[in-house]
Structure 1
Amino acid sequence: MSDIIPVLDLAPFLAGRAGAREALGAELRRAFTDVGFYFVVGHGVPQDLVDATFEEVRRFHALPLAAKTALAIDRHNIGYMPMRGATTRFNALSTTQRPNANEAIFFKRELAADHPDVVAGVRFRGRNHWPDEAALPGFRAAILTYCDAMEGLGRRLLPVYAAAMELPADWFDAAFADAMFTLRMSHYPPSEPIPDGPIGDGQEWGLAPHTDTSFLTLLAQNRIPGLSLRLPGGEWVDAPAPPGAFLVNGGNMLRLWTNDRFLATPHRVLNRSGGERYAIPFFMDAAHDWPIEPVPTMVDDAHPRRHATTTYGAFMETYQKSNFHHAMEKPTAAV
Structure 2
Amino acid sequence: MSLPAAPPILDFSPFYRGDSEAKSKLIEEVRKCCHYNGFFQITGHRVPLDLQRRVMDCSRRFFDLPLEEKLKIDKNNNSFNRGYELLRSQMLEVGTGPELKEGLYIGEEIPKDHPYYLEKKLNSGPNQWPPTVPEKEEFQETTMEYYHAVFELAKDVLGVLAQTLGVESTFFDPLTDGAVATMRYLHYPAQPQDTDEKLNRGIGAHTDFGCITLLLQDEVDGLQVLDAPTGQWLDVKPVPGAYVVNLGNLFMRMANDKYKSNTHRVINKSGRERYSIPFFFSGNPDYICECLPNCREEGEPAKYGPITVQDMVTASYRESYGRAEEYKKEMENKKPEPLPALAAVGA
Q: 1:206: which partner in 2?
A: 202
1:281 offset after TM fit, Å?
0.5
* Cα-to-partner distance string for 1:122-178 (whole Å, 9 max, x where unaligned): 342121111126754211111101101101111122221011111122100121111
Q: 1:240: which partner in 2?
A: 237
3-state SS of paired residue (2:310): helix
1:68 to 61, 67, 70: 70
Given that 1:78 and 1:105 are in contact with CA atoms closer than 8 Å, whether structure 2 keeps it comes out as yes
Q: Which amino acid aligns with 1:215?
A: C
1:22 offset after TM fit, Å?
3.5
Q: 1:101: which partner in 2?
A: 100
Q: 1:43: which partner in 2?
A: 45
Given that 2:10 and 2:40 are in contact with CA atoms closer than 8 Å, whether structure 1 keeps it comes out as yes
Map 1:59-138 → 2, pairs under 5 A: 59-73=61-75, 74-88=78-92, 92=93, 95-132=94-131, 135-137=134-136, 138=138
Matched, 1:54 2:50: no
3-state SS of paired residue (1:141): helix
1:299 offset after TM fit, Å?
2.3
Given that 1:207 and 1:269 are in contact with CA atoms closer than 8 Å, whether structure 2 keeps it comes out as yes
1:307 to 304, 309, 315: 304
Q: Which amino acid aligns with 1:308?
A: G
Change (3 A) 1:2 1:10: farther
1:326 offset after TM fit, Å?
10
Map 1:157-306 → 2, pairs under 5 A: 157-192=157-192, 199=197, 202-233=198-229, 234-301=231-298, 303-306=300-303
3-state SS of paired residue (2:187): strand
Q: How many Å separate the matches in 2 of 1:162 and 1:82?
A: 37
Change (3 A) 1:296 1:13: closer
Q: How many Å separate the matches in 2 of 1:86 and 1:223?
A: 24
1:18 to 17, 20, 39: 20
Structure 2 unmatched runs, 5+:
332-338, 340-347
Q: 1:28: which partner in 2?
A: 30
Q: How many Å separate the matches in 2 of 1:131 and 1:7?
A: 35
3-state SS of paired residue (1:259): coil
Q: 2:345: which partner in 1?
A: none
Superposed CA RMSD: 2.4
Q: Name the stretch that deviates more: 267-276 or 120-129.
A: 120-129
Q: How many Å separate the matches in 1 of 2:299 and 2:236?
A: 34
Q: How many Å separate the matches in 1 of 2:309 and 2:327?
A: 23
What TM-score, normalized to structure 1?
0.90
Given that 2:189 and 2:272 are in contact with CA atoms closer than 8 Å, whether structure 1 keeps it comes out as yes
What TM-score, normalized to structure 2?
0.87
Q: How many residues align?
A: 325
1:108 offset after TM fit, Å?
1.4
Q: Which amino acid aligns with 1:231?
A: D
